[in-house]
A and B are shown apart, each in its own frame.
Chain A
Amino acid sequence: MKRMAVVLSAAIFSFAMIAAMLELPTPVVNLSDVVAAQMAASGVHHPVTAVLLNFRGYDTLLEIAVLLLALFGVLAVAISGTKETVAAPSPADAVVQTLARIAAPLMVLAAVYLLWIGAHRAGGAFQAGAVLAAGAVLLHLAGLLPGWGPPGIRLRVGLVGGFLVFLAVAGAMLAQGALLQYPPWQAGYLILLIEACLGMSLGLILAGLFLFLS
């Protein structure tokens, strides 16, 4: 009975939404032109990176705070036992370990490249952080990186460093004028600084979401 009601209302909702979407008028505001007009003052050459870190930088600041909150939640829930020791590799694992050993430096290189190219083409801090985290997860699954216990001081600095740097830049800009409004001649360097710290921190946070539970 409940199933029928839910399925029926879901079907009605989807039909109504699709009918509404097929009749949308052409948009009045053309945001791509507005963004393109301001690209010279944004400090980068790629519109998505400019929107993410300059025009809508406040959203990115709040996003990294939300990620930190999720990490705190995972840390609170994870059962803290003894630290896992790395098991001796069995012959089948030797192939996986060799592959992981070859792949991990390449993944770090790819992450740095994605971070750097974000100013000119598709890329940026999020993709770089995700590739770094994937490299850490790969090393853990191959048996080369033990699971993380309660974080020490260096890991803590790495985890919150990106957020604190972003917050410090926002505070410095607030002291000079509006929130997160970079002066155009400094915008490129500030964005690079924020992206580098953010990418590093994001990689550690995403890897921590996996490794604190193992």
Chain B
Amino acid sequence: MTTGLAIDLLLAASLLWSAWRALATPDILRAVIFFIVFGLLLTLAWARLSAPDIALAEAAIGAGLTGAFLLDAIGILRGGRKP
């Protein structure tokens, strides 16, 4: 088993694990944090697939901006500020 194959399998396993935890955690804040972790792992997956443009966009948009939007929304839902 070469190193590349081992890294790919490990990355795929962590993607599936973090996605499962994002859907199954009872606490919504933890679910969003697992989703941000999923976005960052997906950036590594795009880098392994030789797609640097998508990796840049996923890091900025998928992990950064989507995470900010989600955290803002659940901050409203927990009664932080008036919506």
B56 and A133 contacting across the interface, CB-CB below 8 Å: no
B68 and A210 contacting across the interface, CB-CB below 8 Å: yes
A interface footprint on B43-83 (CB within 8 Å = 1, 0 otherwise): 00000000011011100110011001100100000000001
Cβ contacts under 8 Å, B69 to chain A: 209-210
Cβ contacts under 8 Å, A210 to chain B: 65, 68-69, 72
B68 and A127 contacting across the interface, CB-CB below 8 Å: no
Nearest-neighbour CB distance to chain A for B18, whole angstroms, equals 18
A137 and B65 contacting across the interface, CB-CB below 8 Å: yes
**Is the contact region of chain A dominated by helix, strand, or loop, or is it mixed?**
helix
Residue total for B at the interface (Cβ-Cβ under 8 A) = 13
A135 to B53, CA, bound (A): 19
Given contacts A48-B53, A126-B57, A131-B60, contact A206 B65 (CB under 8 A): yes
Interface residues of A in 89-138 (CB under 8 A from B): 114, 121-124, 126-127, 130-131, 133-134, 137
Cβ contacts under 8 Å, B60 to chain A: 127, 130-131, 134
Q: Give the most central of B53, B61, B64: most A CB within 10 Å.
A: B53
A127 to B64, CA, bound (A): 12
**Is the contact region of chain B dominated by helix, strand, or loop, or is it mixed?**
helix
A134 and B53 contacting across the interface, CB-CB below 8 Å: no
Cβ contacts under 8 Å, A121 to chain B: 52
Interface residues of B in 14-67 (CB under 8 A from A): 52-53, 55-57, 60-61, 64-65
A137 and B68 contacting across the interface, CB-CB below 8 Å: yes
The residue in chain B whose Cβ has the minimal distance to the Cβ of A122 is B52
Nearest-neighbour CB distance to chain B for A146, whole angstroms, equals 14
Interface residues of A in 74-90 (CB under 8 A from B): 79
A134 to B52, CA, bound (A): 19
B72 and A134 contacting across the interface, CB-CB below 8 Å: no
A137 to B55, CA, bound (A): 20
A60 at the interface (CB under 8 A from B): no
B83 and A123 contacting across the interface, CB-CB below 8 Å: no
Given contacts A209-B69, A210-B72, A214-B72, contact A134 B56 (CB under 8 A): no
A123-B56, A130-B61, A137-B68 known, 8 other contacts, Cβ within 8 Å: A114-B56, A122-B55, A126-B61, A127-B60, A134-B68, A137-B65, A210-B65, A213-B72
A-B contact pairs, 5 of them (CB 8 A): A122-B55, A127-B60, A130-B64, A134-B68, A210-B65
A residues apposed to B, CB below 8 Å: 48, 79, 114, 121-124, 126-127, 130-131, 133-134, 137, 141, 206, 209-210, 213-214
